[in-house]
Structure 1
Amino acid sequence: MPLKTSSLPVKATLLLSSSLTVMAGATIAPSLPAMRDYFAATPNADFWVRLVLTIPALFIAIAAPFVGTMIDRFGRKPLLAFAVLLYGIAGTSGAVLNDISLILVGRVLLGLSVAGIMTTATALIADYYTGAARAQFLGFQAGFMGLGGVLFLSLGGFLADVNWRMPFLIYLLALLILPLVVLVLPEPDRTETAENSGTALTEAFPWRIAGLTYLAAFLSQIVFYLIPVQLPFYLKQLVSATASQSGLAIALATLFSATSAIAYKQIKARLSFMGIYAIAFLAMAVGYLVISFSPTYIMVLVGLAIAGAGLGLLMPNMNVCLTSVTPGSLRGRVLGGLTTAFFLGQFVSPILSQPLSSVVGLDVTYGLAGGLMAAMGAIALGLGWRWQ
Structure 2
Amino acid sequence: MSLPGPTTPSTSHRATLFVLLLASTLTLMAGAVIAPVVGVIRGELGVSGTAAGLILTAHGLSLAIVSPFVGWAIDRFGLRTPLAGGLLLYGVAGGAGLVTESYTALIISRFAFGIGAAAVFVGTTVALLALFQGEQRDRVAGWRSTALSLGGIIWPLIGGALGGLSWHAPFAVYLLGVPVGILTLLVIPAVPPAGRAKGGIVTLLRHQPGLLVFYAFSFFGSFLLYVLAVFLPQRLTEVAVEAPFLIALITTSTSVGGSLIGLFYAKMKARLGYVNLLRLATVAWALAFLLIGLSGQWIFLTVAAFVFGLGSGVVVPALAMMIGESAPVAKRGQAMSLSGTANFTGQFVAPLVLGPVIGATSIGTGFLIGAALSALVLLLLLVFPVMSARAPAEAAGTDKPSTDATSV
Paired residues in the alignment total 377
Structure 1 residue runs of 5 or longer lacking an equivalent are 195-202
Q: Which of 26, 47, 64 is matched with 1:20 structurally? A: 26
Local SS of the residue matching 2:186:
helix
Q: Call closer, same or farther: CA 1:154–1:377 in 2, change over 3 Å.
A: farther
Contact 1:239–1:296 under 8 Å retained in 2: no
Partner amino acid, structure 2, of 1:18 = S
Task: Report the alpha carbon displacement of residue 318 of structure 1 after superposing the two structures with TM.
Answer: 0.7
Contact 2:75 2:330 in 1 (8 A): yes
Q: Does the Cα contact within 8 Å between 1:288 and 1:367 map onto a contact in 2?
A: yes
Does the aligned pair in 2 maintain the 1:118–1:339 contact within 8 Å?
yes
Q: How does 1:75-114 map to 2 (within 5 A)?
A: 75-114=78-117
Counterpart in the other structure of 2:299 = 298
Partner of 1:218: 219
Aligned-residue CA RMSD (Å) = 2.8
Q: 1:109 to 1:191 in 2, by over 3 A?
A: closer
Specify the code of the residue in structure 2 equivalent to 1:182.
L
CA distance in 1, matches of 2:237, 2:36: 11
Which residue of 113, 126, 132 maps to 1:129?
132
Distance in 2 (CA, whole Å) between partners of 1:296 and 1:35 is 33
Verify: 1:348 aligned to 2:382, yes or no.
no
SS of alignment partner, residue 275 of structure 1? helix
1:50-199 equivalent positions in 2, closer than 5 A: 50-160=53-163, 163-191=166-194
**Higher percent of residues as helix:** 1
The answer as to 2:358 corresponding to 1:361 is no
Q: How does 1:299-318 map to 2 (within 5 A)?
A: 299-318=300-319
Whether the 8 Å contact between 2:70 and 2:337 is mirrored in structure 1 is: yes
Aligned twin of 1:9: 15
Amino acid across the alignment from 2:131? Y
Provide the rounded CA distance (Å) in 1 between the counterparts of 2:343 and 2:76. Answer: 23
Deviations 1:83-112 (A, max 9, x none): 111111222233443433332222211111
Q: What is the CA-CA distance between 1:313 and the residue it aligns to? A: 1.1
> What per-residue deviation string (whole Å, max 9, x for no partner) do you get for residues 111-152 of structure 1?
111111111111111111122222221221121111121212
The answer to whether the 8 Å contact 1:97/1:103 transfers is yes
Distance in 2 of aligned mates of 1:90 and 1:295: 42
Q: In structure 1, what is the Cα distance between the partners aligned to 2:143 and 2:224? A: 23
| Cα deviation, residue 178, structure 1 | 2.4
User: Does 133-142 or 213-222 show the bigger shift?
Assistant: 133-142
* Shift in alpha-carbon separation, 1:141–1:21, aligned structure 2, 3 A: same
The amino acid across from 1:8 in the alignment is: R
Q: Does the aligned pair in 2 maintain the 1:157–1:243 contact within 8 Å?
A: no
Q: Helix, strand or coil for the counterpart of 1:97?
A: coil
- TM-score, structure 1 length as denominator? 0.87
Cα distance, 1:218 vs. partner? 0.9
Q: Distance in 2 between matches of 1:350 and 1:332?
A: 29
The answer to whether the Cα contact below 8 Å between 2:76 and 2:193 also exists between their aligned partners in 1 is: no
Alignment of 1:274-293 (within 5 A): 274-293=275-294
- Cα 1:31–1:379 shift into 2, 3 Å: farther
Match of 1:198 in 2: none
Identity of aligned residues (%): 27
Q: Retained in 2: the 8 A contact 1:3–1:10?
A: no
For 2:205 and 2:223, how far apart are their aligned partners in 1?
A: 30
1-structure distance, mates of 2:233, 2:98: 20
Q: Give, in whole Å, the separation in 2 of the partners of 1:145 and 1:76.
A: 20
CA apart distance, 1:345:
0.8
CA shift, 1:26, in A, is 2.5
Pairwise CA distance, 1:62: 0.7
SS of corresponding position for 1:27: coil
Work out the CA distance in 1 between the residues paired with 2:158 and 2:301. 20
Residue 37 of structure 1 deviates from its aligned partner by 5.6
Structure 2: gaps spanning 5 or more residues: 6-12, 198-203, 390-408
TM-score, normalised via structure 2 length: 0.83
Q: State whether residues 281 and 310 of structure 1, in contact with CA within 8 Å, keep that contact through their aligned partners in structure 2.
A: yes
Range that drifts further, 253-262 or 209-218: 253-262
Alignment partner, residue 329 of structure 2: 328
Change (3 A) 1:385 1:218: closer
Give yes or no for contact 1:153–1:247 (8 Å, CA) kept in 2.
no
Q: Assess if the C-alpha contact under 8 Å between 2:241 and 2:247 holds in 1.
A: no
Matches of 2:356 and 2:377 in 1, distance apart?
23
Contact 2:79 2:192 in 1 (8 A): no
Assess if the C-alpha contact under 8 Å between 1:30 and 1:247 holds in 2: no
Query: How far, CA to CA, are the matches of 1:129 and 1:381 in structure 2?
Result: 31
- What whole-Å deviation, never above 9, does each CA across 1:187-219 have from its counterpart, x for those lacking one? 114449x9xxxxxxxx99752221000011112
Q: Give the match's secondary structure for 1:169.
A: helix
Contact 1:26–1:228 (8 Å) recurs in 2: no
Once residues 320 and 236 of structure 2 are traced to their aligned partners in structure 1, the CA distance between those partners, rounded to angstroms, is: 33
Q: Which amino acid aligns with 2:19?
A: T
* Aligned CA distance change for structure 1 residues 289 and 38 (closer, same or farther; 3 Å): farther
